[in-house]
A and B are shown apart, each in its own frame.
Chain A
Amino acid sequence: MKTEQIKTFATKLIEEASLLQQRVKEYYNDENDELALFLRGIAEDLENLDREKLRGDRVGIYRVVSDAPTLEKSELGKDLYAFNGRLKELIAMLE
């Protein structure tokens, strides 16, 4: 039951990561933006349910977004932080 819940939640987050990746590319108007590439990597970690990698990814989201305060204050920045919060929930479920 719990495994199913985790998989369902992770799938939702993979979809969310994909959408955020698209929005970041549009925000910066850059197909090869580092944050967008990072989000694609997070989707891989979500597929593998790699808890340790996901922990590092959470640090990265905060580190990258807080390094760019204009992005941080935008809707996209707020959504990235909200996504980070959901990653935390998933990590807690994996423990």
Chain B
Amino acid sequence: MIAWGRRSETGRNIIRFLTDRVTSLNDSDRNPVTTAFAQSIRDGWAGLAYGVNSTLRIAGETFRSIGNGDWQRVKQYGSALVEGTVKGWLWGGIQTTAELLWGAVKMVTPIGLFETIPAWWSSVKDAWAGKRGGWDVALTSLVLLTNVLGMYGTVNGVRTANEFRTFQDTLSPSAQSEYITLSTAEQIRLFDAARNTGVPSTAIEFYLSEIGRPGSPLAELPLADALKISSLATETGQGPVLLNYISHGELASQSWIEYVPIEFRDTVIPAFEGEEAIPLKLTQSRVAYRYWGGKSEETSSPWLTVYSDLTAEQARSLLALPKANLADHITPFLIPEDTIVLIGKAASQSTERWAGSYATGGGIQIYVPDPSVLIKLP
């Protein structure tokens, strides 16, 4: 049983340990790095206090002399005040800023390694010789690690800056002309979103040409979502149909997976390519189509599409329909306003037993989580 509390043996040991650490950090023989750091803070603070104090005192004397009409002293104190301000504050400020910048440059470039590696190696050697404790090694290791991380950050930053600089060149001439109309902040946002979502350049071109069009629904959407839709539009070649849906709906607030009944989630998700779909709440009713036939039934199924003119063979292929669905019938359905629909690309099922090599997918499929709302049209 361990007894706790500051009077207990454990408590005393903890206090002793902490006291020893604090003492150790201020002991130049045991911890030269932290001691020097602490000393520089103390010196800096003392210098600042002295400077503030002297400036206030001379300023006070200057104003008092003005009040007394003693112009000789005004000149004397005034020139001291000006000199102190220029030399002490301005020049000192410039020097301090330059030193801080130089320190930062050293920490993010290999220049710093000329100091951090010898300091680390020296602490390791001293620790081996029993002159210094493990804390010094830990501290110098931390500084060295910071230096290395800083260098990694610099390399990464330079690479990203280069990618951003050449990003425009990856676009078609017409997309480039749209791109240059964006502000630098918007260009950076687009570059960043394109990198994060991994959309192809054709999708970015589609997005740029769309947002240049007045009233485009893509302009109203969060950038990442707009790029996803652009990607789906370019990959399926169904841009106008998709935009028609988007302009008659609003992006649902949750992730698309949340709208799939929980018991079917892990079987619906792989039906969409990249396990991605767009959740849309319709603000106006839309017409969608169902391909069915064979053992597949006409009504009450959640699986629909935007295509109205596919042959049975095309539908089975693009929508990766099950073998049992012959797709030799097509029925239009009205999806009422306020219905949540999930729109995405059908995943390939060509290696699955229940489909076959024909089921390449790649077409736009619509999943209606609650198919009871669908209204069959004549």
Which residues does A use to contact B, with CB under 8 Å? 28, 33-35, 38, 41-42, 45, 53, 55-64, 66-71, 81, 84-85, 88
Smallest CB gap from A24: residue in B: B295
Chain A residues with Cβ below 8 Å from B296 are: 67-68
Contacts A35-B295, A59-B271, A67-B303: A41 and B353 contacting too (C-beta < 8 A)?
Answer: yes
Q: Is the CB of A68 within 8 A of B324?
A: yes
Q: Is the CB of B301 within 8 A of A33?
A: no
Which residues does B use to contact A, with CB under 8 Å? 263-264, 266-268, 270-271, 292, 294-297, 299-303, 321-325, 349, 351-355, 371
From DSSP, what is the main secondary structure of chain A's interface residues? helix
Chain B residues with Cβ below 8 Å from A71 are: 295, 297
8 Å CB contact of A61 from B267, B292, B323: B267
Q: Is the CB of A58 within 8 A of B267?
A: yes
CB distance from A44 to the nearest CB of B (A): 9
Smallest CB gap from B326: residue in A: A34
Q: Is the CB of B351 within 8 A of A56?
A: yes
From DSSP, what is the main secondary structure of chain B's interface residues? loop
Q: Is the CB of A70 within 8 A of B324?
A: no
Contacts A67-B324, A67-B325: A60 and B353 contacting too (C-beta < 8 A)?
Answer: yes
Q: Is the CB of A57 within 8 A of B354?
A: yes
Chain A residues with Cβ below 8 Å from B352 are: 56-57, 59-60
CB distance from B374 to the nearest CB of A (A): 11
Chain B residues with Cβ below 8 Å from A28 are: 295
Q: Is the CB of B354 within 8 A of A66?
A: no
User: In the complex, what distance in Å separates the CA atom of A56 from the CA atom of B352?
Assistant: 6
User: In the complex, what distance in Å separates the CA atom of A81 from the CA atom of B353?
Assistant: 18
Chain A residues with Cβ below 8 Å from B292 are: 67
8 Å CB contact of B354 from A38, A68, A88: A38
User: In the complex, what distance in Å separates the CA atom of A33 from the CA atom of B301?
Assistant: 20
Q: Is the CB of A67 within 8 A of B297?
A: yes
User: In the complex, what distance in Å separates the CA atom of A56 from the CA atom of B320?
Assistant: 13
Q: Is the CB of B355 within 8 A of A60?
A: yes
Smallest CB gap from B351: residue in A: A56
Q: Is the CB of A64 within 8 A of B297?
A: no
Q: Is the CB of A63 within 8 A of B322?
A: yes
CB distance from B100 to the nearest CB of A (A): 53
User: In the complex, what distance in Å separates the CA atom of A28 from the CA atom of B295?
Assistant: 9
Contacts A34-B295, A34-B322, A59-B271: A66 and B302 contacting too (C-beta < 8 A)?
Answer: yes
Chain B residues with Cβ below 8 Å from A63 are: 267, 271, 303, 322, 349, 354
User: In the complex, what distance in Å separates the CA atom of A70 from the CA atom of B264?
Assistant: 18
Smallest CB gap from B296: residue in A: A67
Q: Is the CB of B299 within 8 A of A42?
A: no
Chain A residues with Cβ below 8 Å from B324 are: 33-35, 64, 67-68
